Structure 1
Amino acid sequence: MNLRAGRLGKKMTEKAADFTSSLEFDKYIFEADVDLNIAHTTMLKQEKIIDSSIADNIITVLKKLKIEGIESLNLDPSVEDIHMAVENYVTDQIGEEAGFMHTAKSRNDQVATDLRIVLKVKIREIQRDILDFIQGIIEMAQEHTKTVIIGYTHLQHAQPTTFAHHLMAYAQSLKRDYERLDDTYNRVNLNPLGSAAMTTTSFPINREITTEILGFDSYMENSMDAVCSRDFIAETVFDLSLMVTSLGKICEEMVLWSTHEFNLIEISDEFSSTSSIMPQKKNPDVAEISRGKTGVLYGELMTILTILKAIPYTYNRDLQEITPHLWNSVETAHAMLDIVKDMLLTIKINSDRGLELARANFATATDLADVIVREKNMPFRIAHKIVGRMVTDAIDLNLKAEDIDSKFLDNICMDLTGKKLDIDEDLIKKSLNPLENVKMRKVPGGPSPEMVNMAIENLNEYLKTEINKFNL
């Protein structure tokens, strides 16, 4: 079928046809386009807009095409897009009557619908894998509720925590990534079909039928908005950009923690490489490449937003240029999710090194200040000053936290306030012990084993509810 024959007297040049063709990335929407045509033709038949026997012939050929696959289509750039390729296939099979399948629809509402059909599936696939990743993190965390490590602020030793507590930070971040996609899904799950080119159609179509057949929640209520809106794409890629930000943070810590200087973890050989010249090297290549791919998503998001900027209502061909960036974003983010999951869940934890770092550099100093506040009813700022001086003097004298006693504190306090503290020796030792330090933090959200287990239990309940949604 020559779509140009009616209005245009000349064929596009080969360069122009190739330049404007969307066939290269239309492979993503092939099955969706076939399903859409089946649904639309079914509706036309039920509403008696086209002859039922013609509709049946069209539907039979479309089902045959779906089985044969995209390979059976003529994907020459002169065809322009997948929509015409599908229509041409049906025309080759049953003749000009195939043209009835395009009654009351346009490629404008067709492509908008195809994109939503496919993206709904892609979002759900990524969501399922996020839940699987969270479940794996929970299982790992349950084994490390008493594995003490050091926590960092400004990448400097801050306070003791546990590896489980740190892992659950990953899990909570991924939970929000999941929820953002869940919220976006609701806006993707709207049916543009029936909007036609931009003002619907004079045919008495039934949009509720195609909405139900294609599995949408409802149809879009403004035809102009329906054919040109691509905010659902930008929103999805934004969600994925935040998800890979979460993954990139994990990768960054895997790179740091696997160094000789940190020595907190060992990344599995399956996710590492070696040097072409230095035989001793074990490089965290998967983590580094994943970290780098975060920038790919950011770039795709900015590209999509830039294309969308100031496009007038309604359909403009610029919109075609958005879809390659959508699919690249989806594929990159999904691949990154899967590989980071596999990498993280197979690392080995050096628990002795974690405790060693937690004992070093006075990371428990805050709790000593808290003890002074509680025992001596002293304002925190004064206690903070006393303990700060204690740390400075101890470092100058090459003392460790376990070397601090009540006499050492009394001397500092006398110098600063003119009074002794007289803090019980056992309280000092307990507050400066990283193991005891973690146990005392029983505030919800904290690192004590009880609180981490409570968080794990709550997240497990959440997972059960969400996983059931996919099993319905």
Structure 2
Amino acid sequence: MAIRDGRLKTEMTDEAADYNSSLEFDKIIFEADIKTNFAHTSMLKNENIIDSETADKILEALDKLKEEGIDALVLDNSVEDVHMAIEKYVIDIVGPEAGFMHTAKSRNDQVATDLRLVLRERIRNIQIGILNFIEGIVEFAKDHLETVFIGYTHLQHAQPITVAHHLMAHVQSLKRDYERLDDTYKRVNLNPLGSAAMTTTSFPINRELTTKLLGFDGYLENSMDGVSARDFIAETVFDLSCLCTTLSKICEELILWSTYEFGIVEISDEYSSTSSIMPQKKNPDIAELARGKSATVTGELITILTILKAIPYTYNKDLQEITPHLWNACDVAESTLSIVTKMLLSVEFNEDRCLELAGKNFATATDLADIMVREKGIPFRTAHQIVGRIVNEASEQDLSEEDITSSYIDNIAMDLGFDKLELDDELVKKALNPLENVKMRKIPGGPSPEMVKLAMDNICIFLDEEYEKRGI
């Protein structure tokens, strides 16, 4: 007996049935749908809502289907969706009594449950990928604790850092991406089953039991909200968009740094290509693709929010259109995370070039101003003015950091109407040396090797705790 036979007089046209069908994307929730039916039927049996013999036949049929897999289903548009395909399979084995499986349950609360079951697994898998990436970066960074590098603001030379410090900045961003997903998981892992179409049911069902059987943390306490809530999807895709933004930034840096002009990194051949006409080329194609693909996830977020913004309570068919965008966002985020992890951890830093850049363009000038404040007690703005003039004059005279002496500083200070500072030349030299400059920054969060090592230790504690929670 088809679901349409009672209320509707005619079948849909083939075109309308095809347009209405969600089968292509329902394949993703196939196993979750079996779990949901199994838990619901077990609850109906436990509460004596359906007789045990009928329930056992249904449960046996569901077990059989789980073993046979989705290929055992008749998947054509006549069954509309995977829920009806599974129900038809069970009816073919059990007979009309299989219809008791649908007692006190609607496709509305069933699909909402299925989505949450699948999504929580996708979230956990992506989180494990993030943890693995963090762990890999930390190990990579350990080899570069004293590899002096240049930090940028406005993509201009700013101040010396280390390669390790820069890598650990990405670690902190990835940690937040992980934590956002962890927080979202709390709202994903709630049970809508029992909401039925929108008003629960008059049958004495046990929602606590299905919640326990399906491993949810709790159940949704409003049936209208239970069948129509999809903000957990929007929230997840927002988190994935943030993750992909982090990954895209990493790719952008690798693309820039691998150019001849920067010459900072060499991307592995495995993640590069060459030109069809220019044989000398080595192009960062994978990094560019990852940078481009990351935008897809942001696009999916906007699509999902746009679908959601004008839907009244409760279930509307528009909601069916959200799930393809969710799964695509998950697929793109997961694959991009995997490829960027492998690509970043395979790059080689040109340490000589890093040191060269760190020692150019007066990137150490801030510390020259700082020692004036520390040693001579002058206001920082005064020191800022003196050092700014030093950089201007030295640049015009084609001088480097090594040419700046105490007497040179005093001449500039007097030209500006200030007293001589008479700084010790060794102190000046140390302030302008990029490695010494980095080592002086011993404030927590700073780039000195000991502070970066402390940050690494803290991240390792975080990793150990999270791996233990996940049983890894």
The DSSP-based 3-state class of the residue aligned with 2:275 is coil
Mapping of 1:82-101 within 5 angstroms? Answer: 82-101=82-101
Alpha-carbon deviation of 1:78?
Answer: 1.7
Residues 424-465 of structure 1, C-alpha deviation per residue, up to 9 Å, x if partnerless? 000100000000000000000000000000000011001111
In the alignment, structure 1 residue 462 sits paired with structure 2 residue 462 = yes
How far the C-alpha of 1:310 sits from its partner, in A, is 2.0
- Aligned-partner SS, 2:360: helix
**Structure 1-normalised TM-score?**
0.99
Q: Secondary structure at the match of 1:287?
A: helix
Show CA shifts across 1:267-313 (max 9, x none): 00111111111111110011000000121011100000000012110
Deviation at 1:144, TM superposition (A): 0.5
Matched with 1:391 is 391
- In the alignment, residue 319 of structure 1 is paired with which amino acid? L
- In 2, the alpha carbon distance for the partners of 1:275 and 1:214 equals 53
1:37 aligns with: 37
Question: In structure 2, what is the Cα distance between the partners aligned to 1:206 and 1:125?
Answer: 31
- Per the alignment, residue 273 of structure 1 pairs with 273
Question: 1:418 offset after TM fit, Å?
Answer: 4.2
| Corresponding residue number in structure 2 for 1:212 | 212
* Cα displacement string for residues 63-90 of structure 1 (whole angstroms, at most 9, x for unaligned residues): 1101111111111012111100000011
Please show how residues 316-355 of structure 1 align to structure 2 within 5 Å. Answer: 316-355=316-355
The amino acid across from 1:190 in the alignment is: L
Instruction: Tell me which amino acid in the other structure corresponds to 1:18.
Output: D
CA displacement, residues 321-341 of structure 1 (integer Å, 9 cap, x when unaligned): 000000000000000000000
Q: Deviations over 1:21-66 (max 9, x none)?
A: 0001001100000011011100000111101011101101101101
| Cα distance in 1 between the residues matched to 2:13 and 2:427 | 85
Matched, 1:118 2:123: no
Q: Give SS of 2:139's match.
A: helix
Aligned residue number for residue 61 of structure 1: 61
Separation of aligned partners in 2, 1:144 and 1:278: 34
Partner residue in 1 for 2:186:
186
Secondary structure (helix, strand or coil) at the match of 2:161 reads: strand
User: Does residue 238 of structure 1 match 2:238?
Assistant: yes
Structure 1 distance, partners of 2:420, 2:211, is 78
Q: What is the rounded CA distance, in whole Å, between the counterparts of 2:134 and 2:418 in structure 1?
A: 54
Between the aligned partners of 1:280 and 1:93, the Cα distance in structure 2 is 65
2:424 maps to amino acid: D
Per-residue CA deviation, residues 83-109 of structure 1 (Å, 9 max, x unaligned), is 000000111111111101000000000
**1:281 counterpart SS class:** coil
Question: Secondary structure in 2 aligned to 1:3?
Answer: coil
Q: Aligned partner of 1:200: which letter?
A: T
Q: Per-residue CA shift, 1:351-401, capped at 9, x if unaligned?
A: 100000001100000000000111110000010000000001001010101
Instruction: Quote the offset at 1:237 in angstroms.
Output: 0.1
Equivalenced residues, count: 472
Specify the alignment match of 1:434 in structure 2: 434
> In 1, distance between residues paired with 2:27 and 2:427?
68
| Separation in structure 2 between the aligned mates of residue 297 and residue 229 of structure 1, nearest angstrom | 20
- SS across alignment from 2:361: helix
Q: Secondary structure at the match of 1:89?
A: helix
Mapped partners of 1:389, 1:147: distance in 2: 30
Comparing 411-420 and 310-319, the one that deviates more: 411-420
Q: In structure 1, how many angstroms separate the alpha carbons of the residues matched to 2:339 and 2:93?
A: 44
Determine the structure 2 residue equivalent to 1:402. 402
Give the corresponding residue for 2:382. Answer: 382
Aligned counterpart, 2:148: 148
Partner Cα distance (1:358, 1:459) in 2: 27
- What is the rounded CA distance, in whole Å, between the counterparts of 1:107 and 1:139 in structure 2? 48
d(CA) in 2 for partners of 1:418 and 1:281?
Answer: 54
Letter in structure 2 aligned against 1:307: I
Aligned residue number for residue 166 of structure 1: 166
Task: Pick closer, same or farther for the CA change 1:418–1:134 going to 2, 3 Å.
Answer: closer
The answer for the alignment partner of 2:288 in structure 1 is 288
Aligned partner letter, 2:352: D
Amino acid at match of 1:466: E
Match for 2:417: what amino acid? T
Q: For 1:214, give the aligned amino acid.
A: L
Question: What is aligned with 1:226?
Answer: 226
- 1:415–1:204 Cα change, 3 Å: same
Taking only the aligned residue pairs, the percentage that are identical comes to 68
Residue by residue, what CA displacement relative to the aligned partner does 1:134-165 show, whole Å, maximum 9, x if unpaired?
00010011111000000000000000000000
Q: Normalising by structure 2, what TM-score?
A: 0.99
Aligned match of 2:46 = 46
* CA displacement at 1:417 relative to structure 2: 2.0
Q: Using the TM superposition, give the Cα deviation of residue 123 of structure 1 relative to its aligned residue in structure 2, in angstroms.
A: 0.3
Secondary structure (helix, strand or coil) at the match of 2:305 reads helix
Separation of aligned partners in 2, 1:40 and 1:47: 11
Taking the aligned partners of 2:421 and 2:356, their CA distance within structure 1 comes to: 29
- 2:201 matched to which residue of 1? 201
The residue aligned with 2:251 is 251
Letter in 1 for 2:159: Q
The alignment yields a C-alpha RMSD, in angstroms, of 0.7
Query: What is the distance in 2 between the residues matched to 1:78 and 1:149?
Result: 63
In structure 2, the gaps of 5 or more residues are: none
Letter in structure 2 aligned against 1:65? L
Give, as a single letter, the amino acid of the residue that structure 1 aligns with 2:127: Q
SS, match of residue 248 in structure 2: helix
- Distance of 1:415 and 1:93 partners within structure 2: 97
Q: Which runs of 5+ in 1 are unaligned?
A: none
Inter-partner Cα distance in structure 2 for 1:340 and 1:417: 54
The one-letter amino acid of 1:453's match is K
Name the CA distance, whole Å, in 1 between partners of 2:419 and 2:194.
Answer: 83
SS of the counterpart of 1:10? coil
Alpha-carbon distance in structure 2 between the residues aligned to 1:372 and 1:293: 49
